[in-house]
């Protein structure tokens, strides 16, 4: 069965973005970016891949799931399908429903959508963000890849929203980069 993987950058104090969705305070150069480009090129936004002349390759994921707040920055730079050719599912009750090419915007229940995606054959599913959606889907997340950046945000969008609900994780891998970024990979423990 396909896994839902929350692959996300986070500050040391647990923010995935600033209070208004800012993410430009994360280091965008260094060996952690090289690793991401080489190992998970499908997680690089389309407009950045095109600017860098990178081919559209799917190594681990063939589907990306995100909330409206994560989707809208792509729209702001003119990219309605920011991770093409991945199947892109935007879960939003505010945006009008849409099905166009590999993009689907839907107001459907996120848990039902993710369970249906997991039941299909294919590569893993990348949960791109945001914190409110991750909090809602926390029980469906199979793997957490938290890219801890050497920065304190002070305030912003939390890695996981939705109140106090402790969940056990098992550390599978720790990868440190000279840039100061550390990737921590955890498996969800189902009880």
pLDDT tens digit sequence for 50-61:
888 888 888 999
Average pLDDT along the chain = 95
49 phi and psi, to 5 degrees? -60, -45
* Extents of the domains making up the chain: 4-125+135-160+172-188
Confidence at residue 123, expressed as pLDDT on a 0 to 100 scale: 97
Question: DSSP letters of 87-103?
Answer: EEEEE-SSSPPEEETTE
pLDDT value for 59: 92
Cα separation, 92 vs 68, in Å, equals: 6
Using alpha carbons, list the distances in angstroms from residue 147 to 26, 96, 164.
Answer: 10, 32, 22
Angle at 139 between CA 137 and CA 141, to 5 degrees: 70
Asked whether residue 191 carries a pLDDT value surpassing 80, the answer given is no
Query: Hey, how many other C-beta atoms are within 10 angstroms of the C-beta on 85?
Result: 14
The predicted pLDDT at position 53 comes to 87
Per-residue pLDDT tens for 76-125? 888 899 999 999 999 999 999 999 999 999 999 999 999 999 999 999 99
Residue 2's pLDDT is 96
Q: CA 109 to CA 151: how far, in whole Å?
A: 34
Instruction: Report the CATH number of the 4-125+135-160+172-188 domain.
Output: 3.40.430.10
Mean of pLDDT values over 31-48:
94
Asked if pLDDT for residue 10 goes beyond 90, the answer is yes
State the SS3 of 19-68. CCCCCCCCCCCCHHHHHHHHHCHHHCCHHHHHHHCCCCCCCCEEEEEEEH
Lowest-pLDDT choice from 37-41, 51-55, 156-160 = 51-55
Longest CA–CA span in the chain (Å) reads: 45
Percent of the chain with pLDDT over 70: 100
Say if CB 60 and CB 42 are below 8 A apart. yes
Residues 165, 188 contacting (CB under 8 angstroms):
no
Q: What is the per-residue pLDDT for 48?
A: 87
């Amino acid at each position: 069965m396909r896994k839902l993987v929350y692959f996300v950058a986070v500050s040391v104090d647990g923010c995935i973005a600033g209070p208004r969705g800012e993410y430009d305070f994360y280091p965008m150069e260094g060996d952690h970016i090289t690793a991401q480009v080489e190992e998970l090129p499908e997680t690089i936004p389309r407009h950045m891949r095109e600017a860098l002349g990178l081919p559209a390759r799917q190594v681990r994921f063939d589907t990306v799931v995100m909330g409206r707040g994560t989707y809208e920055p792509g729209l702001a730079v003119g990219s309605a399908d920011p991770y093409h050719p991945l199947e892109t599912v935007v879960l939003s009750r505010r945006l009008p429903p849409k099905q166009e090419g590999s993009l689907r915007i839907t107001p459907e229940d996120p848990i039902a959508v993710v369970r249906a995606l997991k039941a299909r054959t294919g590569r893993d599913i990348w949960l791109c963000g945001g914190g409110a959606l991750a909090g809602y889907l926390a029980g469906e997340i199979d793997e957490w890849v938290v890219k801890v950046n050497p920065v304190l945000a002070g305030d912003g969008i939390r890695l996981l929203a939705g109140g106090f609900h402790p969940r056990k994780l098992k550390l599978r891998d720790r990868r440190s980069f000279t840039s100061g970024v550390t990737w921590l990979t955890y498996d969800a423990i189902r009880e």
